[in-house]
Amino acid sequence: MSNNTIEFSAFFEQGALKHGLPATAYNDEQFLQAEHDTLFTDNWVFVGFAHELAQPGDAQPVTVAGKPVLLIKNAQGDIGAFHNACSHRCLKLVDKPMNVGAMLCCPYHAWTYNLDGDLCAAPFFGGKEHHPEGFEMSEHGLNPIRIAVWHDWIFINLSGDAPAFIDYAAPLIRHLAGINFDQAKPVAILNFGEVSCNWKFLIENFIEPYHVQFVHQTTTNQPLEDHYTIVDDVCLGSAVDLDDSDQVEGSLSVSSRYLTLFPNFIIGRYFPDQLGVYLSVPVDSGHTTQKRVIYTTEGQSLSAQEVEDLKKLWWDVHKEDHAICERMQLGRASPVAKDGGLLSPHWEDSVRAFQTMIATAVTQDKQTKQGVK
C-alpha cells in the first residue's frame, strides 16, 4: 500500500457527492503506521485520565503511535510524560499501572530515576568508580514528552511541534461553554475491552447523527430532523436540541453534544448534568480498545443503583454502536469498499471533514506539512 494520489483518487474526486476513505485506510497495517508517523505524532493525542494518577509515584504505561509512553505523578502533584525506556539499555521501565514510590528503578541494572525523570543512580556503570569518564548523570535522564493536562484529561504531543494546547483545543472549548468543570467528577467507568474495528470507525460513528434513530431505536427518542452536525476546525461532531416534551429520563432522549478533538478525543455532553469521555487506542488496523468514563457536572452524588442504571444504559448503547462498527470493518473486505462508499452531504459532512484530515496527514510530505504550519 502506498499513500499516493492513486490510492485516494476517488476520495479527492470533485463533485457534489463525496466518497469515503478507501478500504485500505481501515484494514492495512502500513496505513496505520502512516497515521502513527503523522497525525498521532504531530497533534495533541488523548492518552489518559488524571484521576487515575491520584498519588505521587502513580505510574501508568500507555501506547501512543505504537510507542511505549510513561505517565507519572511527581512529588508536587504534577503529571509528566516520558518515553517508557531506560536510558541505559532502553528496557521498558513500567509494564503495568503501579505506584513506584519515590523512585523509579530499572529492574535490569538498577538505574534509578526520580519522579521528574532525572537519573539519580547508575550503580557500577564505570566499575568500582560507578561513573566512567565523560559520563554525566544529568545528561541521561528519561526522555520527556510534551504534555497538557486539561481538567481530568491528559494529552501528549510526541513531535513537540503542535500549537499550545489551549489554542489547539479552542474550538472544542467553545462548544463546551457553560460547564463548571471544577464540579465535574467521575462516577462510573465502562471498560469495553477490544472492539473488532479500526479506531476511525468509532470516531466516525460518534460524530454523525444519521444512524441514531435506526441503530438506537430502543435506547433513544431523538428525531433525526432535530439533529445537526458540527464542523469547526479540529472540533467535529453532531448535536441535538430537544424540547421538554421530547426528553425522556433514563434514556438518551436528552439534548446532547457529540464532540471530538482531532485526532482521538471523544466527549459527549448530555444535558443537563452529564459528560462521557472515551479513550480509544488502536491495537492494529482492525482492533481498538475502548473505555468510557462517565461524569456528573453539577457536583451531585448518585446512589449505587443510579450508577448501575447509568452504566447499563450506556453499555447497551455502545454495544449497539460496536456491533455496527464491527460490521463496517467486515465490509472493508468487499471490493465494493475500495472507493469508500458515499457520504451524505448533509448528515455526514463531519465524517467527511474528519476523513479529509486523515487523508491530508498521511499523503502530504514533511516539507509540505511544515509549510502548512
Question: How confident is the model over 305-323, as pLDDT tens digits?
Answer: 999 999 999 998 889 999 9
Q: Is 336 exposed, middle or buried (0-12, 13-18, 19+ CB in 10 A)?
A: exposed
Q: How far is CA 334 from CA 31, 70, 338, 340, in A?
A: 18, 39, 7, 10
**Strand, coil or helix: what is 270?**
strand
Task: Report H helices in the chain.
Answer: 24-27, 29-37, 39-42, 165-168, 170-175, 199-207, 212-215, 304-331, 349-363, 366-372
Beta strands 58-64; 98-99: pairing state: antiparallel
157 vs 317: CA distance, rounded Å: 32
Q: Please report the sign of the dihedral spanned by the C-alpha atoms of residue 124, residue 126, residue 130, residue 131.
A: negative
11-25, 123-137, 171-185: least confidently modelled range: 123-137
Ordered by where they begin, the domains of the chain are 45-157 (2.102.10.10), 180-356 (3.90.380.10)
Q: Which three cell numbers stand for residue 127?
A: 566499575
pLDDT at 373 over 80: no
216 vs 40: CA distance, rounded Å: 31
What is the per-residue pLDDT across 157-191, written as a single tens digit (0 to 9) for each? Answer: 999 999 999 999 999 999 999 999 999 999 999 99
20 vs 343: CA distance, rounded Å: 6
64 vs 159: CA distance, rounded Å: 12
119-123, 169-173, 199-203, 270-274: least confidently modelled range: 270-274
Contacts of 75 (CB under 8 A, 6+ apart): 56, 102, 115
How confident is the model over 73-88, as a mean pLDDT? 98
Asked if 188 and 292 count as a contact pair (C-beta separation under 8 A), the reply is: no
Asked if 311 and 292 count as a contact pair (C-beta separation under 8 A), the reply is: no
E-assigned strand segments in the chain: 18-19, 45-49, 58-64, 67-73, 79-83, 98-99, 103-105, 112-114, 119-121, 144-150, 153-157, 185-195, 227-232, 235-240, 256-261, 265-270, 274-284, 287-296, 342-343
124 vs 344: CA distance, rounded Å: 65
8-17, 101-110, 117-126, 139-148: least confidently modelled range: 8-17
pLDDT at 130 over 80: no
124 vs 111: CA distance, rounded Å: 10
Task: Give the DSSP letter of residue 250.
Answer: T
How confident is the model over 55-66, as a mean pLDDT? 98
pLDDT at 245 over 80: no
Asked if 103 and 113 count as a contact pair (C-beta separation under 8 A), the reply is: yes
pLDDT at 138 over 70: yes
Strand partners, 86: none
Beta strands 144-150; 235-240: pairing state: unpaired
How confident is the model over 191-195, as a mean pLDDT? 97
Q: Please report the sign of the dihedral spanned by the C-alpha atoms of residue 174, residue 49, residue 359, residue 237.
A: negative
Asked if 22 and 333 count as a contact pair (C-beta separation under 8 A), the reply is: no
Give me the pLDDT at residue 246, please: 59
How confident is the model over 290-317, as a mean pLDDT? 92
pLDDT band at 76 (very low <50, low <70, confident <90, very high): very high
Q: Which three cell numbers stand for residue 106?
A: 530499572
pLDDT band at 5 (very low <50, low <70, confident <90, very high): very low
At CA 193, angle to CA 30 and CA 25, rounded to 5?
20
Give me the pLDDT at residue 367, please: 41
Q: Please report the sign of the dihedral spanned by the C-alpha atoms of residue 212, residue 214, residue 217, residue 221.
A: positive
Q: Which three cell numbers stand for residue 59?
A: 505510574
Q: How big is the chain, counted in residues?
A: 373
